[in-house]
Amino acid sequence: MLESVPITLDEARALARRVLLRHGLAEDHVASVIETIVAGERDGCTSHGLYRLIVCAHTLSTGAVAKAAKPEIIDLAPSIVHVDADGGFAPLAHSMGLPLLIAKARAQGVAAMVLTRCVHFAALWPDIEPLADEGLVALACTPSHAWVAPHGGTLPMFGTNPLAFAWPRQGRPSLVFDFATSAVARGEIELHRRQGRPLAKGWAIDSQGAPTTDPEAALAGAMLTFGGHKGSALALMIELIAGPLIGDLTSRESLIHDDGRKASPFGGVLILAMDPSAFLGDTAAFHLSRAEALFQSLVEQGARLPGDRRLAARRAHDTAPLSIDRALYDDLIALSGDP
Amino acid sequence: MLESVPITLDEARALARRVLLRHGLAEDHVASVIETIVAGERDGCTSHGLYRLIVCAHTLSTGAVAKAAKPEIIDLAPSIVHVDADGGFAPLAHSMGLPLLIAKARAQGVAAMVLTRCVHFAALWPDIEPLADEGLVALACTPSHAWVAPHGGTLPMFGTNPLAFAWPRQGRPSLVFDFATSAVARGEIELHRRQGRPLAKGWAIDSQGAPTTDPEAALAGAMLTFGGHKGSALALMIELIAGPLIGDLTSRESLIHDDGRKASPFGGVLILAMDPSAFLGDTAAFHLSRAEALFQSLVEQGARLPGDRRLAARRAHDTAPLSIDRALYDDLIALSGDP
């Protein structure tokens, strides 16, 4: 019996489509959720790839997401576009707001897009890669569920609160990365539990606030931020600017809102876009080439550019099919309702 | 003999004034540099307090800063103000540009201030505290000199590249923090060398790229970022958005520009300001109070709010004089030219 199943990107799209339609997601949402999920799988982010269909299907079945949400675009200020996602998955609201965000960034120099009342199930990098592909510099952040204790505290308060950054490159794929401000991803803790492996030190504390390497104790306690008090300060910043600043839930409020359904986090996303042409005028090309010199010097000394493993996986899947874990594939076939 | 010397804030200002004037700094710059330095000392940031007068005096004496620079304000785009610092210290250029940045943030919702061609010698938090005191949310970052190796590399490429964040609070001092993306401050390595103490693990590598706890070897090698590859990615982001994006030097270029003078870094600063009223309209007060609930929950579980040690030192100096190390005081008296 095969341990993994080769499928093409189009087959992956078709499978994702069947799963989502069978769980009642409206056609326009299906199209945008599929692209996000298949992009994750294509880029080797298996935790944010086809596996997320299981998470999406569960979220749909619990009623925690509006299946036919109608996002509304609100032109909030000269440099702010607000998309009220109407309780739906984030990707459709995101793609609907993107053209106005791009137009505002070009006209004003700097602009923000605020997504609110959305269910965010994906990695954060797909939210900003399209901006860099349009020649803009972009940042994004979002809270999640309260799983992470602040530095010096013992109770989960922050989400895994990722930060994403994107930088345009001439004639090359944009430089795009994201990272959780938790020491590791939530899924990593759950994976260790399933496999009965101890956690690394520094990942988590138990419910008494004591360091633990026991996954069960960690899940009952709290995860820790990366980088001690600095990572904790960054997590707090993200909690604030993608929570109260945009009028949406904190990670703690998202978890309360979830009410035990174990659905994906509910809340908002803040995206900032900056136009190098507005900052630099005619000298933009020159200064962007100085960034290339910086990248070159990093690579020459053996450092890896953030995001380059993803791009390598993407290139590999230009010709090779995706390789899906057999158990995951079988689960997805079952979720799709196929015999 | 006293080990420390008590002086009032006004005496500190007068002493700073004499030192800076004696080293030829123009009157308008003196006034703004003094406020930054005394604010650092008052807030207990001794490495960015009166000690920085020695750094400033050295920078002035090497010719690395323009003593009578005339900053120019350029209204670059609806959401961008650019202040060309004309090679001078940053604080005057910063304070000249601040009113336009505040006006733009209020009118557009989001705005950026770009300081270029400035010598930045101070902590970063004073650059954004005034914005939060005006009710705005703010971020700032700046490269420095290339002292820090990227994760997986061996050669110094990044600066200590601090990130600062400020959040307005009703009826309380603004929440303001900054942190270097290096594992520790550059001064910490130098302090350990002077005292002959070994460094902690994870702070630095030697010139061969091997981990070291020897301060001499670290200074000949490279410092490391905090938080492994995540801190390194953040340092790269700062290098890009406060370097090439604003048409100014990277940390490596700043060190080359310095040409062995050991002056403060030369380059630019990027400041972003966001107006909660633009994001939230009439509901701003309500959502800012939700942030207060978050702060309360952090404090109740024993975590410290970022920046609160600084605010405690500030409160203490409302009534108590500053306490200056005797050796530093004597050095400053000598630099001031007083008998």
Most A CBs within 10 A among B117, B177, B208, B234, hence the mutation to make, goes to B234
- Is B228 at the interface with chain A, CB within 8 A? yes
Q: Are B113 and B98 in contact (CB under 8 A)?
A: yes
Kindly give the confidence (pLDDT) of every residue in chain B, 339 residues in length, as a single tens digit, with 9 standing for 90 and above: 558 999 999 999 999 999 999 999 999 999 999 999 999 999 999 888 999 999 999 999 999 999 999 999 999 999 999 999 999 999 999 999 999 999 999 999 999 999 999 999 999 999 999 999 999 999 999 999 999 999 999 999 999 999 999 999 999 999 999 999 999 988 889 889 988 999 999 999 999 999 999 999 999 999 999 999 999 999 999 999 999 999 999 999 999 999 999 999 999 999 999 999 999 999 999 999 999 999 999 999 999 999 999 999 999 999 999 999 999 999 999 999 976
Whether residue B95 lies in the annotated active site: no
**Nearest residue on chain A to B163, judged by CA atoms?**
A234
Token representation of residue B25: 């700094």
DSSP string, A145-174: -S-BPPTT--S--B----EEEEE--TTSPP
What pLDDT score does B165 carry? 98
What CATH architecture is A4-62+307-336? Orthogonal Bundle (1.10)
Please, which residues bridge with residue B77 across strands?
B80
What pLDDT score does B2 carry? 56
What pLDDT score does B339 carry? 67
Enumerate the CATH 1.10.1530.10 domain ranges in chain B, comma separated: 4-65+307-336
- Is A288 at the interface with chain B, CB within 8 A? yes
What pLDDT score does A339 carry? 66
- CB within 8 Å: A230 and B179: yes
Taking every pair of Cα atoms in chain B, the longest distance, rounded to a whole number of angstroms, is 60
* Residue A199 reports pLDDT greater than 70: yes
Q: Domain A72-182+225-281 - what CATH class?
A: alpha beta
Enumerate the CATH 3.30.1370.60 domain ranges in chain B, comma separated: 72-277
The 10 Å CB-count burial string (b at 16+, else e) for A139-150 is bbbbbbbbbbbb
Q: What is the CATH number of domain B4-65+307-336?
A: 1.10.1530.10
* Residue A2 reports pLDDT greater than 70: no
**Nearest residue on chain B to A272, judged by CA atoms?**
B110
Q: Which of A181, A239, A247 sits opposite B294 (nearest CB)?
A: A239
Q: How confident is the model at residue A46 (pLDDT cuts 50, 70, 90)?
A: confident
What pLDDT score does A338 carry? 77
- Selecting among B23, B29, B48, B145, the annotated active-site residue is B48
Q: At what angle do helices A27-42 and A9-22 cross, to 10 degrees?
A: 140
Phi, psi of B111 (to 5 degrees): -150, 160
- Is B185 at the interface with chain A, CB within 8 A? no
Enumerate the CATH 1.10.1530.10 domain ranges in chain A, comma separated: 4-62+307-336
Q: What is the distance between the alpha carbons of residues A66 and A25, in angstroms, rounded to a whole number?
A: 8
Chain A and chain B share a number of CB contacts under 8 A equal to 224
pLDDT in tens, A225-241: 999 999 999 999 999 99
* Dihedral in degrees, nearest 10, Cα atoms B290, B296, B301, B302: 140
Q: What ipTM did this prediction achieve?
A: 0.97
Phi, psi of B268 (to 5 degrees): -125, 170
% of chain A with per-residue pLDDT over 90: 95
pLDDT in tens, A125-146: 999 999 999 999 999 999 999 9
* Residue A1 reports pLDDT greater than 80: no
Residues A27-39 have a mean pLDDT of 97
Q: Which of A154, A167, A278 sits opposite B77 (nearest CB)?
A: A278
Q: Which of residues 13-72 of A touch B (CB under 8 A)?
A: none
Q: What is the distance between the alpha carbons of residues A228 and A301, in angstroms, rounded to a whole number?
A: 27
What pLDDT score does B1 carry? 52
Q: How confident is the model at residue A166 (pLDDT cuts 50, 70, 90)?
A: very high
**Nearest residue on chain A to B290, judged by CA atoms?**
A244
Whether residue B188 lies in the annotated active site: yes
Token representation of residue A313: 């996986």
- CB within 8 Å: B245 and A283: no
- CB within 8 Å: A278 and B234: no
Tokens 């269909």 appear where?
A53
* Residue A185 reports pLDDT greater than 90: no
Enumerate the CATH 3.30.1370.60 domain ranges in chain A, comma separated: 72-182+225-281
Nearest chain A Cα distance for residue B173, angstroms: 17
Nearest chain A Cα distance for residue B165, angstroms: 7
Of the candidate CATH numbers 3.30.200.100, 3.30.1370.60, 3.40.50.300, 2.40.110.10, the domain formed by B72-277 belongs to: 3.30.1370.60
Whether residue A23 lies in the annotated active site: no
The 10 Å CB-count burial string (b at 16+, else e) for A108-130 is bbbbbbbbbbbbbbbbbbbbbbb
pLDDT in tens, A278-331: 999 999 999 999 999 999 999 999 999 999 999 999 999 999 999 999 999 999
